[in-house]
Structure 1
Amino acid sequence: MSPWALVLIIVAAVAHATWNLLSKRAAQADGLVFVWIVAVAAAVVWSPLFAGFLLVTGDRPTWGDLAVIGGSTALHLCYFLLLQRGYGTGDLSVVYPVARGTGPMLASLVAVLFLGERPSAAGVAGIVLVGVGVFMLSGGLGGGGAARGDLRGLVPGLVVGVFIAGYTVWDSRVVSAFAVAPLMLNYLGEVGRALALTPVVLATRRRLVLPVWREHRWRIVGAAVLIFVSYLLVLIAFTMAPVSVVAPAREVSVLIAVVLGGRLLAEGDLPRRLLAAGVILGGVVAIALS
């Protein structure tokens, strides 16, 4: 893996774990309204950057670009809605690692079986270690048995992981095979989610918009900034390294999420989860050296 790609992935992991902490802290708000406001805020905050990108590069999205971006938007929309719903019932330090572990394992499997990518032996070992570590964090695979809180987060995490795998593989092809600029994919994805949810929010949840905004405005703005930054860096990394390497390596964020959940949300069982985090770290090192 390129050193620059590794740096991008690590910075993205920090940003990613942080916005998930913000989303978890807003988990008792209406999930659909929260996801919509975050998308609207991101579209507003990042509009000057996107306008500058269009002016400097002269790029304009073609109908083909919009079609593949639409597919990405649909996958991400399901991901965000299911993730927010999962945080309403499960711990950050359970839902997050299970989702992030399931996603890259499936993405890497698809990349190897259908995209012709061939990870080295060290890469395969790293992928396995990441998977073992994140499932230890969920209470399985030698983690001492799953507690009730672990079980509440297990199913949502697994379902979210399927969509993570889907958008990881799809978006890697959008920025590589279809040559869509990462910034364009990321920004138009935010706009697409906002537009897709607007009719539903205005028709059924209009009265909830102001209360959710007033209570969670700083979490919303923080998430809007960090979601965009974290995924933009990953999309750029996809142009430097294969998806079977980038997808698992970015899961170093589970280390950060476990510490955040244990220290800031008092979710407990930190020693066991930190032990599992050491397994993940070994996997990330193996992947980085592959």
Structure 2
Amino acid sequence: MSFLVFCAVLTAALLHASWNAMVKGAHDKQLNMIAVVLGHVPLAVITISIFPAPAPASLPYIAAGMTLHFGYQIFLIRAYNAGDLTQVYPLARGSAPMIVAAVSVAFLGVTLAPMEITAVATIGLGILSMALVRKQNGQRNPQAAKLALITGCFIAAYSLVDGTGARIAGSPIAFYGWLAMGNAVLMALFVAATAPHQFRALATRGKRVFLIGGAASYAAYGLVIWAFTQSPIALVTALRETSIIFALLIGVVFLKEKLDAAKIASTAITLIGVALLRLAK
């Protein structure tokens, strides 16, 4: 992985953790998730207007990707309603890189160097160890853990689909523009069918997240889509999930969530994995 790709994915990780914190930190988490997804539309329109349409062969991947992203968003809302950011986010994001790496090596013919495999496993284990933390009242939260793991499966699936589709599309930027627009359409249809009053709330309570969270989310995954075309999907996915470190800091500093020795140890393990990934050739 080149230094440019490495820095781009770390930037995406920071942006990703930021918009997740905006969703989790709100009283109405569903409204904020809707605002983030629909906030992709302005940038997606610009992208579609500027760049040529992706290759026809990539259209099935766009359709599959937008569906998987929608499933991820719905389950992420449910997980955040059930648990803390510093529990849900690590478990959802930590399970994904190991699933992606296993599928890539076992079924897609991807070859990873021993150091790269060690780095992916270390990052994944470091993040997953966050699942051992308890709620502030001392009780474990199996419902949040279950929803977070389901969310992680969606993350792994859309990462593999998007990474493959972006390479076939010819232009990763155009691919993501069409994907983001399709995902926004699915979300709009979902809102119209289940909570049409949220459209009115977007213009007031959801405006800030629409503008800031939507832009941060779009830029974050746009960088990741590009990185998928430059390096193995498994390595990009693992590095992106170091957003847990940023999420931990945001959760503790801004959301006043509890910091303990277990979270610090998990962060240290994750950072070791990041170092190994950077050193891998």
- TM-score, normalised to structure 1, is 0.88
The aligned counterpart of 1:138 is: 131
- Indicate the larger mover: 220-229 or 195-204: 195-204
Counterpart of 1:263 in structure 2 is 253
For 2:144, the equivalent position in structure 1 comes to 153
Match of 2:159 in 1: 168
SS in 1 for 2:204: helix
How far off is 1:207 after superposition? 2.1
Question: For 2:140 and 2:63, how far apart are their aligned partners in 1?
Answer: 36
1:17 is matched with 17
243 and 205 in structure 1: CA distance in 2 versus 1, 3 angstrom threshold: same
CA RMSD, aligned part only?
A: 2.2
Q: Which residue of 1 aligns with 2:3?
A: 3
C-alpha distance 204-239 of structure 1, shift in aligned 2 (>3 A): closer
Match among 29, 53, 57 for residue 60 of structure 1: 53
SS in 1 for 2:82: coil
| Alignment match of 2:266 (pick from 273, 276, 286) | 276
State the alpha-carbon separation in 1 of the partners of residues 260 and 141 from structure 2.
13
Offset of residue 213 of structure 1: 4.2
Q: Structure 1: which amino acid aligns with 2:95?
A: T
CA, structure 1 residues 179+64, in 2 after alignment: closer, same or farther (shift >3 Å)? closer
Conserved? CA contact 2:24–2:85, under 8 Å: yes
Change (3 A) 1:180 1:68: farther
Deviations 1:228-286 (A, max 9, x none): 11111111111111112111111221111111111211110343212210100001111
CA contact (8 A) 1:87 1:95 kept: yes
Please name the residue that 1:87 is paired with: 80
TM-superposed CA distance for 1:127, in Å, is: 1.7
How many angstroms does 1:152 deviate by?
A: 4.4
Q: Which amino acid aligns with 2:223?
A: L
Counterpart CA distance in 1 for 2:23 and 2:270 is 23
Which of 25, 39, 42 is the aligned partner of 1:41? Answer: 39
Matches within 5 A, 1:225-264: 225-264=215-254
CA distance in 2: counterparts of 1:271 and 1:17, whole angstroms: 21
Q: Deviation per CA, 1:138-163, whole angstroms, max 9, x where unpaired?
A: 216xx9xx943554431121110001
**Uncovered stretches (5+) of structure 1, i.e. residues with no partner:** none
* Deviation (angstroms), 1:135: 2.1
CA distance, structure 1, for counterparts of residue 35 and residue 18 of structure 2: 18
Match of 1:122 in 2: 115
| Amino acid in structure 2 at the alignment position of 1:284 | V
Q: Distance in 2 between matches of 1:280 and 1:22?
A: 23
Q: From the superposition, tell whether residues 70 and 272 of structure 1 become closer, same or farther in structure 2 (CA, over 3 Å).
A: same
Q: How many residues align?
A: 279
1:184 aligned onto 2:182 = no
Instruction: Kindly state the Cα deviation for residue 82 of structure 1 after the two structures are TM-superposed.
Output: 0.8
What is the CA–CA distance in structure 2 between the aligned matches of 1:198 and 1:183, rounded to whole Å? Answer: 22
Instruction: From the superposition, tell whether residues 210 and 11 of structure 1 become closer, same or farther in structure 2 (CA, over 3 Å).
Output: same
